Amino acid sequence: MDNKDLFLEQIPLGPMENFVYMIGSKSTREVALVDPAWDIDFLLNFIEQQDLKLSSILVTHYHPDHIGGGMGGHSIEGISDVIEKNPVKIFVNKHEAEGVKKVTGVSDTDINIVESGDHLTIGLNDIEFLHTPGHTPGSQCFKINENLISGDTLFIQGCGRVDLPGSNSDDMYHSLRKLSELPNETILYPGHHYSPEEFQTMKKTKEQNMYLKVPDIATWRQIMG
């Protein structure tokens, strides 16, 4: 692992304050797009202008504001638009694959199924896939060296909703416990810009985020109703 080789770009896009991420290698110029949605031409033009090469797409979960599809009567650009213009594999947790296909129309041949603990290497950078169900059945986070891209599982001052179809409050509790065990120096990069900070150490997040302070699942169930 070598953070000096890490290329990491946090890009705010769309009316729901999403963060799209580019992660990859400064030396090989390869990057993965995390949850590309809303303005695909902007993202692909950015890659071209920075002399980068798109090698893969990483999906945190299947909601259209993160990967494209129909939402609220609107059609959101997303992963299907990316692979139409630049064909690459889409890395999806095994519990999320059917949802991703249904929402976006991508096929089995477009998807690379991963499980928790699987790894992807880009240049000198190790990406570990962490299954963190709760917001959706196959929600996953990506640990890149000493950084965590958390999607809608963990925000700096909150966590993803658990009152939506496919969500599960108890699963979210266990996923947050799992993330709270990450080293304090890990930098958290959330899926939305819901707090004044765009990113933050896990140390500060553990100190400030009430959802990471719940002592046990019984208390969690009381809080979550």
Tell me, what's the pLDDT at 55?
Answer: 98
CATH match for 3-224 among 3.30.9.90, 3.60.15.10, 3.40.720.10, 3.40.50.300 = 3.60.15.10
Mean pLDDT over 174-181 rounds to 98
- Cβ(29)–Cβ(22) under 8 Å? no
Mean pLDDT over 59-68 rounds to 98
- Rounded to 10 deg, the angle between the 217-224 and 169-180 helix axes is 130
Model pTM score: 0.96
Instruction: Indicate the domain borders of the chain.
Output: 3-224
Tell me, what's the pLDDT at 2?
Answer: 56
What is the C-alpha to C-alpha distance for residues 11 and 13, in angstroms, rounded to an integer? 6
pLDDT above 70 for 1: no
| 225 confidence band (pLDDT: 50, 70, 90) | confident
Tell me, what's the pLDDT at 87?
Answer: 97
Mean pLDDT over 92-114 rounds to 97
Q: What is the DSSP letter of 77?
A: P
CB atoms < 10 A from the CB of 164, how many?
Answer: 11
In tens, the pLDDT along 66-76 reads 999 988 778 99
Closest by CA position to 59, among listed 1, 4, 101, 3: 101
Q: Is 68 exposed, middle or buried (0-12, 13-18, 19+ CB in 10 A)?
A: buried
